Amino acid sequence: MQRTQRITVVGAGLMGHAIALEFALNGFEVRVYDTRAEALADLRDRARQTAAPLVQIGLVAAPDLEAGLARLHPTADLAATCADAEYLVEAVSEDLALKQQLYRELDRLCPPGTIFASNTSSLPPSELGAATSRPDRVLVAHYFNPPHLIPVVEIVLGRETSQATADATAALLRRIGKTPALVKREVVGFVANRLQAALLREALALVEQGVADVESVDAIVRLGFGRRLAVFGPFAIADLAGLDVWAAIARVIFPTLDTTPTPPPLLAERVAQGQYGAKTSAGFYPWPTDRLQAALAERDAELLHRLAADRRRSE
């Protein structure tokens, strides 16, 4: 496992194709399975498009991209994909019943030693492991979107996940330049989505209470403490401000923070009206196609810039 050069990816959508690409660019032979024929047929084209900015900024040399794309092997034959799989990344649609059905099949088709790593955003690894005869070899390795541009991967252990499985996953992720972050116990939302949900709940409450509008809240986060968050986590920020200061802040602010347990009207009403955000062209903001494309390009340019800086520092 430590020296494996092979990976299997099941589910070649938004996340799966880019995770497969990362492994391929780092020298792994990657078998990719999906139930949708078109996801396999255009896998290399999508991977090429996804990798284009990495080439433009010089993080990947053009010949290395071609070599990487040649290491992506789409296949519609799950049994053959699994037959000698050592490490399997699962990135199929977020549906517990569908995933459990798949895990039962994978368990039957893969050798007993194969590790299954799910990219689920929300499902507990124990519930996926329970569909197999190897819960010690099942965990969550949660990449963030876009997975080829965001360095951290949450490794979430299920109740029966072994230390060896966690160690093998962390070692593998380091080999492709990722930073694994251990979540020792499965909790709803893992760490990242709990923190993001806490921020969004308070942001919604502030707008609902008329304290600030959507644009102001976004500006305060994005151009304010968000700038720092790209450099320091909340604990380092607290250390730099002074823990005495934060203890005083906590005493005053914590009792006033929102604790609403359900989506507040500001969110629920938009959803009821079919305003789901970018995917329906309207949410808190209007998202005409050109604006959305520009916003995604700006996001990716910032992420690329940071990735290039990380690489320079580690060289």
Ligand X SMILES: NC(=O)c1ccc[n+]([C@@H]2O[C@H](COP(=O)([O-])OP(=O)(O)OC[C@H]3O[C@@H](n4cnc5c(N)ncnc54)[C@H](O)[C@@H]3O)[C@@H](O)[C@H]2O)c1
Nearer to ligand X, 13 or 206 (CB): 13
Q: Please list the alpha-helical segments (H only) found in the chain.
A: 14-25, 37-41, 43-56, 62-70, 78-83, 96-109, 125-129, 163-175, 192-208, 214-220, 226-229, 234-241, 243-253, 265-272, 289-314
Q: What is the rounded CA–CA span in Å between residue 104 and residue 132?
A: 6
- Partners of residue 115 on adjacent β-strands: 87
Can residue 124 be called a binding residue for ligand X (CB under 6 A)? no
The one-letter amino acid at 304: L
* Distance linking the first and last C-alpha atoms of the chain: 26
Q: How far apart are CA 5 and CA 220, in angstroms?
A: 45
Residue type, 307: L
Residue 299: what are its φ and ψ, rounded to 5°? -60, -50
Stretch that binds ligand X, among 4-12, 44-52, 53-61, 270-278 (CB under 6 A): 4-12
Q: Which pair of structure tokens corresponds to residue 112? A: 């007993």
Count of residues in contact with ligand X, rule CB under 6 A: 24
Q: Which of 27, 8, 175 is nearest to 84 (CA)?
A: 8
Least gap, CB of 107 to ligand X (angstroms): 14
35 binds ligand X (CB under 6 A): yes
* Contact yes or no for 135/160 (Cβ under 8 A): yes
Question: Based on CB atoms, which residue is closest to ligand X, 46 or 64?
Answer: 46
Does the footprint of ligand X cover residue 10 (CB under 6 A)?
Answer: yes
Q: Note whether 65 binds ligand X by CB under 6 A.
A: no
Q: Is residue 75 a contact residue for ligand X (CB under 6 A)?
A: no
Q: Is 15 in the site for ligand X (CB under 6 A)?
A: yes
Binding segment for ligand X among 137-145, 179-187, 233-241, 249-257 (CB under 6 A)? 137-145
Q: Which one of residues 7, 8, 9, 11 is an interface residue with ligand X (CB under 6 A)? A: 11
DSSP string computed for 44-64: HHHHHHHHHHHHHTTSS-HHH
Give 113 or 189: the residue with its C-beta nearer to ligand X: 189
Task: Answer yes or no whether residue 121 interacts with ligand X by CB under 6 A.
Answer: yes
For ligand X, the closer of residues 145 and 196 by Cβ is 145
For residues 120 and 161, which CB has a smaller minimum distance to ligand X in the complex? Answer: 120
Work out how close the CB of 124 gets to ligand X at its nearest, in angstroms, rounded to a whole number.
Answer: 12
Q: Whose CA is closest to 145, among 154, 136, 137?
A: 154
Of positions 39, 138, 153, 217, contacts ligand X by CB under 6 A: 39
Binders of ligand X in range 154-193 (CB under 6 A)? none
- The least CB distance from residue 10 to ligand X, in Å, is 5
Please choose, out of 27-35, 55-63, 150-158, 294-302, the segment that lies near ligand X by the rule CB under 6 A: 27-35
Which residues are at the interface with ligand X (CB under 6 A)?
10-16, 33-36, 39, 91-94, 98, 102, 119-121, 143-145
